[in-house]
Amino acid sequence: MNHIELRPLDDDDLDAIFEMMRDREAIAMAAFTAEDPDDRAAFDAWIARQRAAEDVLSLVVTENGGFAGTAAAFTVDGDREVSFWIARHAWGRGVATEALRLLISREATRPLFARVAAHNTGSRAVLERNGFTEVSRNVDFAPGLGRETEEIVYTLVPALDGI
């Protein structure tokens, strides 16, 4: 496997993140995306809010020192959630699995939650390889698909002592 690291997001990453989040194949997999992924002003406003929020940990995933995606932890309705978005050039090589492993090792809060489109088998496998288990399913509108789709909620709970 290549060398995977997480580092703080900086201004020089914004163009790469914007382009990654405009990739149509990735948008279809993620499903729950921006209304208009080509709207740079909306992206800039969204990322500025994320970077300013005290409860958001925004990181860049690197593979051998180069940009490979993003990983984040944030709070929604009192629950701590994690998220990752890997650039298509880094798919299928274990980058997402290792990035999520590194993220959850930095994030002490448990339980952690993650949400994924049901059809995104790759991301579901990444979550399960890192110890997440499915806890619920719901149907919601997915801008990346232009229709409603099923979303799965996963959780990572604390390990029980002695098990």
Q: What is the 3-state secondary structure (H, E, C) of the chain?
A: CCCEEEEECCHHHHHHHHHHCCCHHHHHHHCCCCCCCCCHHHHHHHHHHHHHCCCCEEEEEEECCEEEEEEEEEEECCEEEEEEEECHHHCCCCHHHHHHHHHHHHCCCCCEEEEEECCCHHHHHHHHHCCCEEEEEEEEEECCCCEEEEEEEEEECCCCCCC
pLDDT in tens, 58-86: 999 999 999 999 999 999 999 999 999 99
pLDDT in tens, 109-128: 999 999 999 999 999 999 99
- Domain parsing of the chain, residue ranges: 4-156
Q: What is the pLDDT of residue 78?
A: 95
Residue 1 has pLDDT above 80, yes or no: no
**Which CATH number is correct for 4-156, 3.90.230.10, 1.10.760.10, 3.40.50.1370, 3.40.630.30?**
3.40.630.30
Residue 31 pLDDT grade (very low, low, confident, very high; cuts 50, 70, 90):
confident
Residues 5, 8, 12, CA angle at the centre, nearest 5°? 105
* Global pTM value: 0.92
Q: What is the pLDDT of residue 2?
A: 87
Residue 162 pLDDT grade (very low, low, confident, very high; cuts 50, 70, 90):
very low
Give burial (CB, 10 Å; 0-12/13-18/19+) of 122.
middle
